[in-house]
Chain A
């Protein structure tokens, strides 16, 4: 199968927690050999799986979050606080094409793995460093997770119920999105290296990534000195727009009218054909002024219907509408059925489990080349006695000395 376009590329993966592991999930699932460095001395938060081990049993190899992010790679245990462990990490980097990391800024340097050091070992190395606010600048030492960092970037200021407090986005946003950007960035730098022979260092700021995704709000202030409103589910452009209660327990549908034609379609579907020609509803502005009145009519109609029925009926009438799906519904949804996002991965300890793979369909890649998340240190011996050239005796000695730890 043509699904290993990154065959021959080796990645030394110092990523942890969320964004870093997701970035290398992309690379490993496309044929790169990803070797993740792990250690008891700096155990991944999600290896500790606080109460979230498979089937309620805790265990270092049983975490749902860890195993659903760290697929398609090998696990090498190396205690980087020992000189020998550090030496082996450098040896791994000497044989690698890409280094990824998402520790707080400065941690790699403190460990003795600054880019300048790595470049001396391997001039072609591509190093992608991702931290909350970037490696340089007065606040570079800031620590945090994606859900915190989005606040600095400005996104929660724009998000929230009308008149209410700001809110972050769910789903641990933006960590997985940032992992995707890390993968793109690594590939762009590798592409440049393939052309010029030159490696490089890329200093990615998580907050800046999110700020590049809210230009409208930022430019609103830059142009007009005004903070944009927090409109909840409503919109400054289109009306009506909202999330409406449907039949069933806590079921909802999202509806957005984006054109005059769609408004006429909605009016007819609601059984209010007279609204289609009413002057006060002839523009989005007019409809916004009567948003509460229109919402009441929509809700009276949606309450009698399932959220899927709302989608199918309104879409047939030319209106943009969709159900607000929960995870159970996503797993069963017909629109997701041929997308191959949900895959069963056979993990060496917990067996086959359904998780989310990677999005997107390709005409010439039938499926991503997924491999399961590794057991803690599953490939230590293989990597040490293979790539790193140790004898079995040396390897066992390093295990005893807590270098392979």
Chain B
């Protein structure tokens, strides 16, 4: 059962207190990295709630602010408070919360911090150890500082769109740079922010001071496109995957696709030749080396596909698994949910929520041997912990809470 403060007792980060004033994916995913490892994460939402509450999926496709799959997932293990930072009394409550936090995660527009008196200088005056993580599309400085951004535009300006898809395309006019289907720019920026925040915790232990962290989505994405940058530095013109003639990593088979890289390494290729029953064409010396296979891609690839088309992805995967060849099925969501491997690792968790019912969601990617990942509470209802926090932790009386609620500075949950 959850402890009073909301944190766990045996998670790796259970001694940390995090305040999160962030919406959408990036900041909340950063907060989740801490919450799932036991930190006490207090999510502060504006009246009306985090915009994720309007983002699907929803059970039976019925939009409801307490039933958004995205919101429920990203905010599991957090407590929730509703404050209006348009109101000075609401801002003051947020400052007080920051005064007792190890980490504050925020995603305001870069110029808003100073305008609202929520800048690092003001907040650290009350808490010298405060680590403040600011996420934004382009960073707190620079010429694009005030520009809008999203997972979609960050993916493209950070250079990943030009490397996606990684299969060759023949007509670059008809096939523009492509975004992924899972808002990865926001999720990976969240991991960058979480890693930096934890680094700052170590920094504080070593040097004694908190600090301001400036996380740019564009830069986080650009950090993923490091291979072509290195190529340029090393005197090679980078090959952009959507333009290059090379082996595709996703190939068709009888009932879908497999992600297959048998051409890369010689021992993988030998195992694949064995999988295919060692046909005459495949045992050719001309294909025995990576270079030989690359130079003869227009022969090797179609003949390999011909064989793949006679087998299902599960058959191919099992054959590859038995031979230590890198090959995975391109899993559908249904197949991901039914993965025997994930089941054996208890990867999916069923989280019971008072409004949304029990919903299955991804759980721990890493199994910790002594400080387990754990679900301690579902995502908070809007304003669920406003009273506990304002009266219990910030010491306001019931009358003061009523006055704050009447003026709109805070909102209490209706539950």
Q: From the candidates A151, A219, A255, name the one contacting B259 in the complex (CB within 8 A).
A: A151
Contact A55 B234 (CB under 8 A): yes
Decide yes or no whether A399 CB sits under 8 A from chain B.
no
Flag the segment in A34-42, A177-185, A270-278 that touches B.
A177-185
Q: Decide yes or no whether B93 CB sits under 8 A from chain A.
A: no
**By CB atoms of chain A within 10 A, which of B184, B335, B344, B364 has the most?**
B184
Shortest C-beta distance, A97 to chain B (Å), equals: 12
B365 touches A204 (CB 8 A): yes
With A138-B341, A169-B184 given, is the CB distance from A148 to B165 under 8 Å? no
Q: Kindly list chain B residues whose C-beta atoms are within 8 Å of the C-beta of A335.
A: 138-139, 142-144, 157, 218
Contact A243 B242 (CB under 8 A): no
Interface centre among B176, B194, B321 (most CB of A within 10 A): B176
Q: A156-B330, A192-B12, A228-B333 are in contact. Are A202 and B366 (CB under 8 A)?
A: yes
Q: Mark A140-176, 1 if CB is under 8 A from B, else 0.
A: 1111110111111111111111000111111111101
- Contact: A170 with B164, CB < 8 Å? yes
Complex partner residue of A319 from B148, B327, B336, CB under 8 angstroms: B148
Please determine whether A5 and B202 come into contact, CB atoms closer than 8 angstroms.
Answer: yes
Asked if A198 CB lies within 8 Å of chain B CBs, one says: yes
Chain B residues 329 to 373 lying within 8 A of chain A, measured CB to CB, are 329-337, 339-342, 344-345, 347, 359-371
B288 within 8 A of A: no
Docked CA distance A115–B370 (Å) = 13
Tell me if A254 counts as interface (CB < 8 A to partner B): yes
**A170-B241, A322-B149 as given contacts; A157 in contact with B330, CB under 8 Å:** yes
A151 touching B161, Cβ below 8 Å: no
Which single member of B147, B153, B182, B233 contacts A354 (CB below 8 Å)? B233
A262 to B153: give the CA distance in the assembly, Å: 15
Q: Is B215 an interface residue (CB 8 A)?
A: yes
A interface footprint on B212-249 (CB within 8 Å = 1, 0 otherwise): 11111011101111111111111110101110000001
Q: Which A residues lie within 8 Å of B158 (CB)?
A: 325, 330
Q: B276 within 8 Å of A by Cβ?
A: no
Of the listed residues A145, A160, A222, the one surrounded by the most CB atoms of chain B closer than 10 A to its CB is A222
CB of A365 within 8 A of CB of B203, answer: yes
Q: Which residues of B contact A111 (CB under 8 A)?
A: none
Which of A63-71, A88-96, A383-391 sits within the interface? A63-71
- B231:A64 contact, CB within 8 angstroms: yes
CB contact between B235 and one of A56, A65, A201 (< 8 Å): that residue: A56
The interface on chain A, measured as residues whose beta carbon lies within 8 A of the other chain's beta carbons, has a size of 157
Q: Given A140-B341, A359-B216, is A219 in contact with B157 using a C-beta cutoff of 8 Å?
A: no
A256 with B198: CB separation less than 8 A: no
Query: How far apart are the CA atoms of A258 and B153 in the complex, in Å?
Result: 12
Residues of chain A within 8 A of B56, CB atoms compared: 216, 220, 236
Q: What B residues does A15 contact at CB under 8 A? A: none
Contact A158 B198, beta carbon cutoff 8 Å? no
Contact residues in B for A330 (Cβ distance below 8 Å) = 158-159, 222, 225, 229
Binds A, one of B69-77, B277-285, B385-393, B403-411: B69-77
Q: Is the CB of A221 within 8 A of B367?
A: no
A194 to B165, CA, bound (A): 43
Q: A129 CB to closest chain B CB, in angstroms?
A: 9
Q: Are B149 and A176 in contact, with the CB atoms below 8 A?
A: no
Known: A191-B201, A330-B229. A138 touches B344 (CB 8 A): yes
Instruction: List the A side residues contacting B144 at CB < 8 Å.
Output: 315, 334-335
Smallest beta-carbon distance A282→chain B, Å: 18
Nearest CB on B from A307, distance (A): 9
Are A327 and B341 in contact, with the CB atoms below 8 A?
no
**Could you tell me which residues of chain A, from 310 to 330, have a CB within 8 Å of some CB in chain B?**
311, 315, 318-328, 330
B367–A353 CB distance below 8 A? no
**Distance of B284 from chain A, by nearest CB (Å):** 20
A149 and B139 within 8 A (CB): no
Please, which residue of chain B has its CB at the minimum distance from the CB of A140? B341
Q: A324-B162, A325-B158 are in contact. Are A219 and B142 (CB under 8 A)?
A: no
In the complex, whether B160 has a CB less than 8 A from a CB of chain A is yes
Nearest Cβ distance between residue A254 and chain B, in whole angstroms? 4
**A134 x B196 contact (CB < 8 A):** no
Docked-complex contact A202 and B368, CB < 8 angstroms: yes
B-binding segment of A73-81, A286-294, A338-346, A374-382: A338-346
Q: Which residues of B contact A43 (CB under 8 A)?
A: none
Decide if A5 touches B344 in the complex (CB within 8 Å).
Answer: no
- Inter-subunit contact A360/B214 (CB<8 Å): yes
Question: Which residue of chain B has the shortest Cβ distance to A119 in the bound complex?
Answer: B369
Contact in complex: A325, B148 (CB < 8 Å): no
Asked if B57 contacts A30 (CB within 8 A), the reply is no
The answer to whether A205 touches B141, judged by C-beta atoms less than 8 angstroms apart, is no
* Distance from B204 Cβ to chain A, minimum over Cβ atoms (Å): 8
- Point out the residues of chain B lying under 8 angstroms from A224, CB to CB: 57, 59-61
What B residues does A236 contact at CB under 8 A?
Answer: 56
A339 & B234 in contact (Cβ 8 Å cutoff):
no
In the assembled complex, which residues on chain B have CB atoms less than 8 Å from the CB atom of A336? 218-219, 222
Q: Does A188 reach chain B (CB closer than 8 Å)?
A: yes
Partner of A50, one of B291, B328, B340, B364: B291
- Do A157 and B331 have beta carbons less than 8 Å apart? yes
Is A213 engaged at the interface, CB distance under 8 Å to the other chain?
yes
Stretch at the interface among B80-88, B108-116, B167-175, B296-304: B167-175
Q: A156-B250, A200-B371 are in contact. Are A216 and B182 (CB under 8 A)?
A: yes
B326 near A145 with CB under 8 A, answer yes
In the complex, chain B residues 244-302 whose Cβ is within 8 Å of any chain A Cβ: 249-250, 252, 257-261, 265, 290-291
The interface centre, meaning the residue of A6, A201, A203, A231 with most chain B CB atoms within 10 A of its CB, is A203
* Alpha-carbon gap, A209 to B33, bound state (A): 12
Further contacts, 5 of them, CB under 8 A, given A171-B225, A212-B362, A217-B182: A140-B341, A153-B331, A203-B367, A245-B176, A322-B157
Q: List 24 A-B contacts (CB under 8 A).
A: A138-B340, A148-B261, A151-B331, A154-B335, A167-B166, A180-B191, A192-B12, A192-B13, A192-B370, A200-B368, A211-B347, A212-B363, A223-B59, A231-B181, A256-B152, A315-B144, A315-B148, A324-B176, A326-B228, A338-B139, A358-B223, A360-B214, A361-B140, A362-B214
Q: Which 9 residue pairs are nearest across A and B when measured between Cβ atoms?
A: A170-B163, A158-B181, A151-B259, A167-B165, A219-B69, A68-B230, A64-B234, A144-B326, A137-B344
